[in-house]
Structure 1
């Protein structure tokens, strides 16, 4: 009869350990998802910034080329 209480406490502690492991796994998964979404967001932001800079620089180069051609005439 003494083996039954120890078996119940072991089962209870095993269940608590399983719950802790599951909670840790969920936290890890959500942190990975959070990090991936952050990297995707930064990538989109960098793409937009570099495309805007490219457009501005292309416009600037075009203006310089036009003024250079005009000044040569």
Structure 2
């Protein structure tokens, strides 16, 4: 999951070296925290959150039975 988020985010941003994804588990939920350069934040979120919503949909589809939560951190 972590690798998928990194791959997608690095394809969207101008500064792919600044992309980091931290992974942790809370109860039965996998939490992924995506951090990008401040100037690339809008590219990852997208207009009205469409890009972020699409990334979350990909995670839900590939997650199987496991709950996955994506947070985009400033």
Normalising by structure 2, report the TM-score: 0.24
In terms of Rg, which structure is larger?
1
Normalising by structure 1, report the TM-score: 0.24
